[in-house]
Amino acid sequence: MNATADYDAARAAVSRTLPAYVSYTVTSHATGMGFSKDEASTIVVRSRDGKIVKGTPPSVKIGSDASYSDDVANHAPFQLACYRATGARLTSFDGRPTEALSLESNRTCEHDRHGDFDTLYLDPTTRDPLAAVGNQHDDPVSAHLEQRYARTGSFILPSAFDVMVKGSSFMFWLNVTAHQTYTRYAFSNAPP
């Protein structure tokens, strides 16, 4: 294992140039503090600039930063360009053997909040990313972020994103969860 080389391999796998247009279905579920909301929408994105050209993004906004784009194909919450690997170890994730890379923000991204994610799980054979995870514990609030990946044809794209925020002590009432899945990816070189 070589943390830097394995991270570079994962970064190359995720950063393949997409066709001119990408469509996908986003399904959102959010609960907490007296609300529950479910939504689904089909989105078409122009790859060259990340502009949504068809569809309406869900009103449930989950991301590690307020500047998080609604275009998950080009601007997912976890951006490999915003981090570097500082260590590697063999472990398991979702019951399967994985390589876990410890992450540190490289502070080069304009909208990155510097360290929201702390671990990237890779397939130990292909070095394809499986999930990026972040755990933050700033009393009295803790947060868990998890962005999962899946292979769609020859591309590796986000398949889900979860945010869980929980309070303790005088913030005991805070308990919010949000889950988004990204399915039915399709690719085209012609406008929709």
E-strand spans in 33-173?
A: 35-46, 51-54, 83-93, 96-105, 119-122, 129-138, 141-152, 155-167
Contact status, residue 26 vs residue 40, Cβ threshold 8 Å: yes
Give the model's pLDDT for residue 57: 82
pLDDT in tens, 134-172: 988 888 888 899 999 999 999 999 999 999 988 888 878
Helix (H, G, I), strand (E, B) or coil at 43: strand
- Let me know if domain 3-188 sits in CATH 3.30.70: no
pLDDT over 70 at 126, yes or no: yes
Q: Contacts by 120-123 with C-beta closer than 8 Å and gap 24+? A: 120/7, 120/10, 120/78, 120/80, 120/83, 120/85, 121/91, 121/93, 122/6, 122/10, 122/98, 123/98, 123/99
pLDDT in tens, 51-89: 899 998 877 655 444 444 567 887 788 888 889 999 999
The distance from CA 190 to its chain's CA centroid, rounded to whole angstroms, is 27
Give the model's pLDDT for residue 176: 87
pLDDT in tens, 81-122: 889 999 999 999 999 999 999 999 887 776 555 568 999 999
The helix or strand, by DSSP H or E, that contains position 31, with its residue range, turns out to be: strand 21-32
pLDDT in tens, 4-50: 999 999 999 999 999 999 999 999 998 887 888 899 999 999 999 88
Domain boundaries, given as residue ranges, for the chain? 3-188
185-189-192 Cα angle (round to 5): 70
Instruction: Quote the percentage of the chain above a pLDDT of 70.
Output: 91
pLDDT over 80 at 186, yes or no: yes
